[in-house]
A and B are shown apart, each in its own frame.
Chain A
Amino acid sequence: MKSRKWLVQVILIAAVLLSACGQTGGGGQEPVVLKVGWTGAPDTLNPAYAFLTESFTIFDLVYSALTTQAVSGEYVGNLAKEWTHSDDGLTWTFTLNDGITWHNGEPFTAADVAWTINAIIADPDGWAAVSNYTANFVEAAAPDDQTVVITLDTPVGNMEYRLSWIYIVYPPDFEVFTTPEDLQNFTNDTPTGTGPFKVTTFDKDLGVLVMDTYPDYFGGAAKIDQITFQTFDNSDAMVQALKVGDIDMVIDVPQSAFATVEGFENVKAVKTEGSYFSELIINSAPADFDPAPNKNPALDDPQVRLAMAYAINKQDLVDAVLQDLGVVGDTIVPPQLGGGFWHNPNVQDTPFDLTKANEVLEQAGYVAGADGVREKDGVRLEFRLQFPSDNPLYPRIADLLTAWFKEAGIKTTPESVDPDSLYVQMTPAGDFDLVIWGWGPDPDPDFILSVMTTDQFVDGGWSDSGYMNPEYDQLYLDQQVTVDRDARQAIIWEMQEMVFNDRPYIVFWYEDLLRAYRSDRFTGFIESPLGIEIYQSMLQVEPVQ
């Protein structure tokens, strides 16, 4: 292991020296290299068993899927040129683009697509990273080289979204694996794909990934010759590297450094709408639930929840904690999803108004005691306010909330808890009052909506509020099988409103997506809420003349 690492280092140094020689001697012919810095790294380049966002960033450049999300948020064709579905929504027929080839020069055919999809259907354990996208798939067939037919057992409302995550792999690379374990252990360090770039080196220990442009890419070759990804252990070091020009681009600029990066010379800091949100979780598990929740019963009073909503100054949270790098949030479906198509714009957010908060509690019968804490029938408005210990923003939020709540006669005690034990404490034990936490939703609203369903409040489930509403659960099932986009939108809008009014969550904000690049060296990036690193953007990037 050690000797191999050594060898790679020597090769890299040699490569750097050689390229330096080329630059001095060649004159005008030196390769154009885009150097990207990030603080993460792919867990593996095997699409069957990769779980980190970084892996999917690489797959996006190396592999292709039938569909892809356009910067507008809508789904468009990638490998597929066009597609239709039968009236019952159970049969989908895709026609592929012409002239697609694998990185090794072999022609790409519909049989490769069918093979990948059928492999996932047949071995969901081995393909654990993507098998949820083939739920309800029966089989895929390739009647000819240009046509793929997928049959389903129930209609799927978000078919194009699901297919955009299924990267079509080169069957000879994957056919050899007979057990799920073998497939999971495959590292696939030099993947064979159909995308615009081809990985030549991936060294996890050094945190280096190098990819060359694939000249025969069916969508037209990229205008740069090579992309290198360098992992940084420390975000300060990464930002400094961008400042001095050691790297050309940064994925995920830390929020607290963004203002400084904006001031760098020759650097363009890019801020776009993002989907990550943070929220106050209010224990909504019903008292008769098994196991019985341990919470302050006052939390079940909608008036108490309303008062808390009035007592939160979301704009101040965005200013002071998020350093203005986000927007005030309201529903659980961020406006970034689907280019704004899924977010319900008609929800009226509760304004910050401490007088109103006090009025609401006064009218509901909560009277302030000697210490200023309100109570009714012996129940004091005194809550635990917990948050996971791995996020530096949450203690800041907790202190601000505590100060505002105090003005409304609500006493909260902030407490930092290990994230794993906090999860165990919440789901499905329900042993909490208020918790600050956040989500990074999928591009399709299905996932974030599932978080509020009753059957997710089980051990290992996604529900952390204990919200249970049969009407909501039914709507969730309806939207899953509604293929018509507008009809699905109407259902999803209704669901958001329901959750907003019942307040299992009070959403604080939607965080901006932060990127930066050297504007003195490269131009042409597509600045969209999907990030400047998506393949569509990388195809446009060119060196500054």
Chain B
Amino acid sequence: MNPRWTLLKRNLLDFWQTFRRNRMGLVGAFLVLTAVLAAVFAPLLSPYTPTETMRDAGGRALTFAPPSVHAPLGTDDAGRDVWTQLVYGARISLTVGFLAGFIAMFIGSLFGITAGYFGGWVDNLLMRITDVLLVIPDLPLILVLVATVRQLDLKVSPLVILVLVIGLLYWTSTARLIRSQVLSIKERQYVYRARAIGAGNWHIVRRHILPQIMPLIVANTVLILSTAILIESGLAFLGLGDPTQPSWGTMLNFAFDRNAVTNGAWWFYLPPGLAIIWATLGCVLLGNVLEEMLNPRLASHHLEGEQSIVTHPPAPFPAREGGVAKSDGG
């Protein structure tokens, strides 16, 4: 137990040492972290509730009021504080994004590992299902699905429908990525050896394959998050979200429906738009950097190493040396 912990600790420290030197990664982490913190501490960041109508001394609602001391980002069409909705909206946007992203990741990994590891007809079946989903255009399909499911009168929140539909549709690229990685890992010597000494499928997947592809899964999850947040905002903007819960997409939907542009109320539509960019950009930057660091295939020294193998087939030794040297350099 103890040595494993120290190993993990050292790995994490190593990881942090490499990560902190990557400026893009740091920016991404900062963007994601601030958005998450805003969502978690929303009640501390605003004195109002998101459904509270702000009023003047005479009790009249202050609709489309420009930014002021009381409402730093102005008010919307119903006189609500935009800043309050923005931080509370982060909760819905990020929760839907995260849940949908995790569902997609789970299904994608399950499909990818099963297909890649077992091969044969299992692979064929799972990959054909993946192909079918890949060729159908995402947005029209998702629009039709959400609209139809909402008509079924299932007595669940529209947000649950959003989470499920996004999660159940956006796993295809992950499944393909993971499958290809598993295909290569399962052919490695240590997997054959493990099998030779009698290890079962479950053991091999759990102890030898999963740890190898875990970094890929982590990096991909962060990337899928950005897609999920974007899709949630898009659907909410089109009126398929839950209007009783503020999310960034819902805010844009109201801004559009209630003529914020004509009213010159830029403070109503710019903040949610920028917030969406903030969170998705953060996820993309973070995801790309994680993928680069954790996925050995993307690292340049491997390509070079392979090239040298090709050019000098009988001499694997220098290639390995070069690989080690470069990987130390980061």
Partner-contacting stretch, out of A30-38, A86-94, A221-229, A410-418: A410-418
**Known contacts A320-B79, A403-B51, A416-B158; A256/B263 CB under 8 A:** yes
Q: Are B153 and A257 in contact (CB under 8 A)?
A: no
Q: Are A389 and B153 in contact (CB under 8 A)?
A: no
Q: Which of A240, A261, A321, A418 has the most CB of B within 10 A?
A: A418
**Known contacts A320-B63, A389-B239; A256/B259 CB under 8 A:** yes
B48 nearest CB across to chain A (Å) = 12
Contact partners of A256 in chain B: CB under 8 A: 77, 257-260, 262-263
Q: B259 contacts which of A236, A418, A424 (Cβ < 8 Å)?
A: A236
Which A residue's beta carbon lies closest to that of B254?
A: A392
Q: How far is the CA of A494 from the CA of B147 in the complex (A)?
A: 43
B24 nearest CB across to chain A (Å) = 37
Q: How far is the CA of A261 from the CA of B264 in the complex (A)?
A: 12
Which A residue's beta carbon lies closest to that of B261?
A: A236
What is the size category of the interface that chain A forms with chain B?
35 or more
Q: B150 contacts which of A259, A323, A418 (Cβ < 8 Å)?
A: A418
**Known contacts A254-B259, A392-B257; A400/B53 CB under 8 A:** yes
Q: How far is the CA of A263 from the CA of B193 in the complex (A)?
A: 81
Q: Are A260 and B264 in contact (CB under 8 A)?
A: yes
Contact partners of B254 in chain A: CB under 8 A: 392
Tell me the dominant secondary structure on chain B's binding face: loop
Q: Are A320 and B78 in contact (CB under 8 A)?
A: yes
Q: Are B262 and A236 in contact (CB under 8 A)?
A: yes
Please report which residues of chain A, range 401-454, place their CB below 8 angstroms from some CB of chain B when the two chains form the complex. 402-403, 414-418, 420-421, 424-425
Q: Are B243 and A416 in contact (CB under 8 A)?
A: yes
Q: Residue A471 at the B interface, CB < 8 A? A: no
Contact partners of A414 in chain B: CB under 8 A: 244
Contact partners of A395 in chain B: CB under 8 A: 243-244
Contact flags (1/0) for B209-251 with A, using CB distance below 8 Å? 0000000000000000000000000000001001110000000
Q: Are B244 and A415 in contact (CB under 8 A)?
A: yes
Q: How far is the CA of A320 from the CA of B259 in the complex (A)?
A: 15
Please report which residues of chain A, range 234-250, place their CB below 8 angstroms from some CB of chain B when the two chains form the complex. 235-236, 239-240
Q: A399 contacts which of B77, B244, B253 (Cβ < 8 Å)?
A: B244
Q: How far is the CA of A417 from the CA of B263 in the complex (A)?
A: 29
Which B residue's beta carbon lies closest to that of A400?
A: B53
**Known contacts A320-B78, A321-B78; A416/B242 CB under 8 A:** yes
Q: Residue B61 at the A interface, CB < 8 A? A: yes
Q: Which of B60, B260, B263 has the most CB of A within 10 A?
A: B263
A414 nearest CB across to chain B (Å) = 4
Q: Residue B152 at the A interface, CB < 8 A? A: yes
Q: Are A398 and B244 in contact (CB under 8 A)?
A: yes
Q: Are B79 and A425 in contact (CB under 8 A)?
A: no
Q: Residue B2 at the A interface, CB < 8 A? A: no
Q: Residue A396 at the B interface, CB < 8 A? A: yes
Q: Residue B184 at the A interface, CB < 8 A? A: no
Contact partners of B158 in chain A: CB under 8 A: 389, 416
Q: Residue A502 at the B interface, CB < 8 A? A: no
Q: Residue A316 at the B interface, CB < 8 A? A: yes
Contact partners of A254 in chain B: CB under 8 A: 258-259, 262
Q: Residue A319 at the B interface, CB < 8 A? A: yes
Please report which residues of chain A, range 159-177, place their CB below 8 angstroms from some CB of chain B when the two chains form the complex. none
**Known contacts A399-B244, A400-B53; A392/B258 CB under 8 A:** yes
B126 nearest CB across to chain A (Å) = 34
A298 nearest CB across to chain B (Å) = 21
Contact partners of A396 in chain B: CB under 8 A: 77-78
Which A residue's beta carbon lies closest to that of B62?
A: A320
Q: B61 contacts which of A320, A398, A421 (Cβ < 8 Å)?
A: A320
Q: How far is the CA of A316 from the CA of B151 in the complex (A)?
A: 33
Q: B51 contacts which of A240, A259, A394, A399 (Cβ < 8 Å)?
A: A399
Contact partners of B242 in chain A: CB under 8 A: 416
Contact partners of B78 in chain A: CB under 8 A: 320-321, 396, 399
Q: Which of B242, B243, B261 has the most CB of A within 10 A?
A: B243
**Known contacts A256-B258, A421-B150; A389/B243 CB under 8 A:** yes
A92 nearest CB across to chain B (Å) = 46
**Known contacts A399-B51, A400-B53; A239/B259 CB under 8 A:** yes
**Known contacts A320-B61, A320-B78; A257/B244 CB under 8 A:** no
Q: How far is the CA of A390 from the CA of B147 in the complex (A)?
A: 12
Q: Are A421 and B153 in contact (CB under 8 A)?
A: yes
Q: How far is the CA of A395 from the CA of B152 in the complex (A)?
A: 21
Which A residue's beta carbon lies closest to that of B54?
A: A320
Contact partners of B239 in chain A: CB under 8 A: 389-390
11 A-B residue pairs with Cβ-Cβ distance under 8 Å, sorted by A, are: A235-B259, A239-B259, A260-B264, A316-B59, A316-B61, A319-B60, A323-B77, A392-B77, A392-B253, A399-B51, A414-B244
Known: A390-B239, A416-B243. 4 other contacts (CB 8 A): A320-B61, A396-B78, A416-B158, A417-B153
- Residues on A close to B: CB < 8 A? 235-236, 239-240, 254, 256-257, 259-261, 316, 319-321, 323, 389-390, 392, 394-396, 398-400, 402-403, 414-418, 420-421, 424-425
- Residues on B close to A: CB < 8 A? 51, 53, 59-61, 63, 77-79, 147, 150-153, 158, 239, 242-244, 253-254, 257-264
Would you list the 7 A-B pairs with minimal beta carbon distance, nearest first? A320-B61, A395-B243, A392-B257, A256-B258, A257-B259, A399-B51, A257-B262
